[in-house]
DNA sequence: GCAATAGTGTCTTTAAGACACTATCAT
DNA sequence: ATGATAGTGTCTTAAAGACACTATTGC
């Protein structure tokens, strides 16, 4: 083959490919294709009064107007760079603060989960200390904390009950191989508070000694030097170390129970 | 309050709510709101020749026309009841068979991951025995298996490289606390095949004894009564028990390595 | 019998479970 | 000093790691 002809052909075809992709993108109209209703929802957990609760909001609009559901909504394509941003935006809207733990839970989709039609929601799972957002929640009437053991009595919008169940399973599983419950505590906390948080989430007592061993091994915390009077011996106050990732243990707590 | 008036008011307001919701749903036009481009993608892994590979397809259309990417595409709202159906439909299209393992991985979204605009893809993670789909893959020219250790050399469409990395992490983690690699094996398999699959995925040798203990404890398998000649002593052939869920162990293998 | 692969026995190690023990505080 | 809560010491237990051992096959 003539090398000049080969080069010419190559240059031309590259040019054609680029022109054609350019034109394609310029002419692309996202609204041409039927697409599902896309939303983002948050399952925000918090602890108070020896109970694990989930944040619900009263729906202002159809469908399920007036019903309680998860705080969430549509993606704002100008504001949000990803669904994480959408989740955060909605959480800040409702609680006034950024939760210290936020991870993607799962995406729920289907033809029938929304009466308006085929829909998809990316659910996020978040934890916060109750004290950090209580003033904000108390100031509105469209948001409330539902204790998770009352979930069966409360009818929720869409499949939000099912989504909360998934989030609860995730929280319980992760609590067995990490110290995730610290994200439900105030910035400074005692070991007893961490133990109580863990026990409320797991629904059963754990060995304090096991918790302390993990606490030390995790490398996630530092002593504040302060301590807190609880009526008897003062308890040391700890805080999370800056910029340290969550530690995952290689074994689960409570090996006996379930799988 | 007059009880008759109360009942009347209640009945009326319920009626009004229903009428208003009916009208709302009737008038609802899903295309009114700007919504992201929504797709579903699959990360299908398979083992062959002592290598872990991922299935790629050559893109027939813009954007990234001609580039390799994950097998996936748009939701067909008439065919698919959920994104799981979309994932399965695309997998069957490309491989000719239903993979024995399919779970949701994560949803990737963002303003910039697709040149056409704000997009969201729900990624699924699947495993299959190479022999079960090899004839179909070989019959087409737009699909290939990419060994995962060659991932760095291959440029992929969109953020598909990143998605594969997430899937790989999930596969490796789960291999440490379950016998997930069996889903990469043929229906009948030997313990040595399971061990080799596990070692390829983890990238290091494991204790055969530990594997056998887990194999028995899992309750997931049954002896076929058959055995397979391998050049030396014959190895027993096992199969997965019908209708038995995957067993999750309470400890990880390879505690030393990483977290 | 020998080499090779399959499969077992059993000791060590790791980290959790159990629980008795000591320490520190308010009163 | 006492009682209550904080925190430690240490033995037991469960399951993985290590590795030597026996079993079965083809040649």
Q: Does any CB of chain B come closer than 8 Å to the CB of residue A235?
A: no
Do residues B239 and B221 lie in contact, with contact meaning Cβ atoms separated by under 8 Å? yes
What's the pLDDT score for residue B10? 43
Do residues B36 and B118 lie in contact, with contact meaning Cβ atoms separated by under 8 Å? yes
Q: Does any CB of chain B come closer than 8 Å to the CB of residue A166?
A: no
What's the pLDDT score for residue B230? 84
What's the pLDDT score for residue A230? 83
Which whole number is the average pLDDT over A122-134? 96
**Tokens, residue B159:** 């953020």
What's the pLDDT score for residue B20? 60
Q: Does pLDDT of B202 surpass 90?
A: yes
Residues from chain A contacting residue B24 (CB–CB below 8 Å): 62-63
CB contact under 8 A, B118 and A251: no
pLDDT band of residue B241 (cuts 50, 70, 90) is very high
Q: What percent of chain A has pLDDT over 90?
A: 78
pLDDT band of residue A253 (cuts 50, 70, 90) is very high
Residues from chain A contacting residue B62 (CB–CB below 8 Å): 20-21, 24-25
CB < 8 Å from B in window 64-83 of A: 65-66, 74-75, 77, 80-83
Residues from chain A contacting residue B247 (CB–CB below 8 Å): 259
Q: Does pLDDT of B246 surpass 90?
A: yes
Å from the A95 CA to the D13 C1': 46
CB contact under 8 A, A252 and B252: no
Phi, psi of A40 (to 5 degrees): -130, 135
Do residues B221 and B240 lie in contact, with contact meaning Cβ atoms separated by under 8 Å? yes
CA B235/CA B229 separation, integer angstroms: 6
Count of A-B CB contacts under 8 Å:
126
Q: Which of B81, B255, B259 sits opposite A247 (nearest CB)?
A: B259
Q: Any idea which of A79-88, B7-16, B103-112 has the lowest mean pLDDT?
A: B7-16
Which whole number is the average pLDDT over B10-15? 44
What's the pLDDT score for residue B22? 61
What's the pLDDT score for residue A11? 43
The residue lying closest to nucleotide D10, measuring its CA against C1', is A209
Q: Does any CB of chain A come closer than 8 Å to the CB of residue B230?
A: no
Q: Does any CB of chain A come closer than 8 Å to the CB of residue B109?
A: yes
Q: Which of A37, A82, A104 sits opposite B30 (nearest CB)?
A: A37
Higher pLDDT, B181 or B28: B181
Residues from chain B contacting residue A82 (CB–CB below 8 Å): 109-111
What's the pLDDT score for residue A33? 62
Do residues B74 and B38 lie in contact, with contact meaning Cβ atoms separated by under 8 Å? yes
B78 Cβ within 7 A of any nucleic strand D atom: no
CA A23, chain centre distance (Å) = 40
Q: Give chain A's mean pLDDT.
A: 89
Q: Which residue has the tokens 């990803």?
A: A82
Q: Does pLDDT of B9 surpass 60?
A: no
Do residues A164 and A152 lie in contact, with contact meaning Cβ atoms separated by under 8 Å? no
CA B118/CA A179 separation, integer angstroms: 35
Q: Which of A37, A77, A115 sits opposite B118 (nearest CB)?
A: A77
Contacts of B38 (CB under 8 A, 6+ apart): A35, A36, A38, A120, B74, B75, B119, B120, B121
**Tokens, residue B2:** 């007059």
CA B70/CA B67 separation, integer angstroms: 10
Do residues A258 and A172 lie in contact, with contact meaning Cβ atoms separated by under 8 Å? no
Q: Does pLDDT of A3 surpass 50?
A: no
CB contact under 8 A, A82 and B109: yes
Q: Does any CB of chain A come closer than 8 Å to the CB of residue B120?
A: yes
How many C-beta atoms surround the C-beta of residue B243 within 10 A?
5
Would the pTM of this model clear 0.85, i.e. be above it? yes
pLDDT band of residue B4 (cuts 50, 70, 90) is very low
Q: How far does B135 lie from chain A, in Å, by closest CA?
A: 32
Residues from chain B contacting residue A248 (CB–CB below 8 Å): 259
Do residues A85 and A73 lie in contact, with contact meaning Cβ atoms separated by under 8 Å? no
% helix / strand / coil in chain B, to the nearest 5? 40, 25, 35
Q: Give chain B's mean pLDDT.
A: 89
| CA-based end-to-end distance of chain A | 67
Residue B125 is inside which H or E element, if any? strand B119-127
Which whole number is the average pLDDT over A98-127? 97
Contacts of A254 (CB under 8 A, 6+ apart): A176, A202, A204, A206
Contacts of B160 (CB under 8 A, 6+ apart): B41, B69, B70
What's the pLDDT score for residue B97? 96
pLDDT band of residue A208 (cuts 50, 70, 90) is very high
Do residues A101 and A82 lie in contact, with contact meaning Cβ atoms separated by under 8 Å? no
pLDDT band of residue B221 (cuts 50, 70, 90) is very high
Q: Does any CB of chain B come closer than 8 Å to the CB of residue A106?
A: yes
Q: Which residue has the tokens 């007893």?
A: A192
Q: Does pLDDT of B218 surpass 50?
A: yes
Q: Does pLDDT of B220 surpass 70?
A: yes
Nucleotide nearest to B207 (CA to C1'): D17
Q: Any idea which of A104-118, B131-145, B169-183 has the lowest mean pLDDT?
A: B131-145
pLDDT band of residue A9 (cuts 50, 70, 90) is very low
Q: Does any CB of chain A come closer than 8 Å to the CB of residue B28?
A: yes
CA B182/CA B173 separation, integer angstroms: 15
Q: Does pLDDT of B117 surpass 60?
A: yes
Which whole number is the average pLDDT over B203-214? 98
Å from the B224 CA to the D17 C1': 30
Q: Does pLDDT of B6 surpass 50?
A: no
Higher pLDDT, A204 or B17: A204
Q: Which residue has the tokens 């959480």?
A: A91
CB contact under 8 A, A111 and B33: no
Q: What percent of chain A has pLDDT over 70?
A: 86
Q: Which residues touch strand C (CB under 7 A)?
A: A 206-210, 213-214, 217, 227, 229, 231-234, 249-251, 253-255; B 190-192, 208-209, 212, 227, 230-236, 255
What's the pLDDT score for residue B29? 56
**Tokens, residue A45:** 């957990």
CA B23/CA B26 separation, integer angstroms: 5
What's the pLDDT score for residue A34? 82
Q: Does pLDDT of B33 surpass 90?
A: no
Higher pLDDT, A239 or A3: A239
Full 3-state SS string of chain A: CCHHHHHHHHHHHHHHHHHHHHHHHHHCCHHHCCCCEEEEEEEEEEEECCEEEEEEEECCCCCCCCCEECCEEECCCCCCCCHHHHHHHHHHHHHCCCCCEEEEEEEEEECCCCCCCCEEEEEEEEECCHHHHHHHHHCCCCEEEEEHHHHHHCCECCCHHHHHHHHHHHHHHHHHHECHHHHHCCCCECHHHHHHHHHHHHCCCCCHHHHHHHHHHHCCEEEEEEEECCCCCCEEEEEECCCCCCCECCECCCCCCCC
Q: Does pLDDT of A152 surpass 70?
A: yes
What's the pLDDT score for residue A7? 41
CA B7/CA B9 separation, integer angstroms: 5
């Amino acid at each position: 083959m003539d090398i000049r002809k080969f080069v010419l052909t190559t240059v031309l075809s590259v040019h054609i490919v680029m022109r054609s992709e350019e034109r394609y993108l310029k002419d692309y109209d996202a609204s041409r294709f039927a697409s599902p209703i896309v939303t983002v929802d948050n399952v925000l957990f918090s602890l108070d009064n020896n109970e694990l609760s989930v944040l619900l909001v009263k729906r202002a609009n159809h469908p399920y107007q007036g019903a309680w559901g998860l705080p969430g909504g549509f993606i704002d394509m100008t504001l949000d760079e990803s669904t994480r941003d959408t989740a955060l935006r909605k959480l800040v809207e409702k609680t006034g603060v950024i939760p210290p733990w936020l991870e993607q839970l799962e995406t729920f989709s289907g033809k029938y989960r929304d009466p308006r039609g085929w829909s998809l929601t990316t659910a996020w799972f978040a934890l916060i200390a109750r004290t950090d957002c209580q003033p904000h929640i108390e100031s509105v009437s469209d948001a409330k904390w539902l204790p998770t053991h009352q979930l069966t009595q409360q009818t929720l919008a869409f499949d939000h009950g099912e989504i909360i169940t998934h989030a609860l399973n995730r929280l319980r599983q992760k609590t067995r191989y990490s110290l995730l419950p610290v994200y439900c505590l105030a910035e400074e906390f005692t070991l007893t508070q961490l133990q109580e948080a863990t026990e409320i989430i797991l629904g059963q007592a754990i060995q304090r000694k096991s918790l302390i061993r993990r606490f030390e091994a995790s490398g996630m915390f530092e002593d504040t030097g302060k301590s807190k009077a609880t009526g008897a011996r003062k308890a040391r106050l700890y805080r999370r170390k800056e910029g340290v990732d969550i530690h995952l243990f290689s074994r689960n707590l409570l090996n006996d129970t379930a799988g």
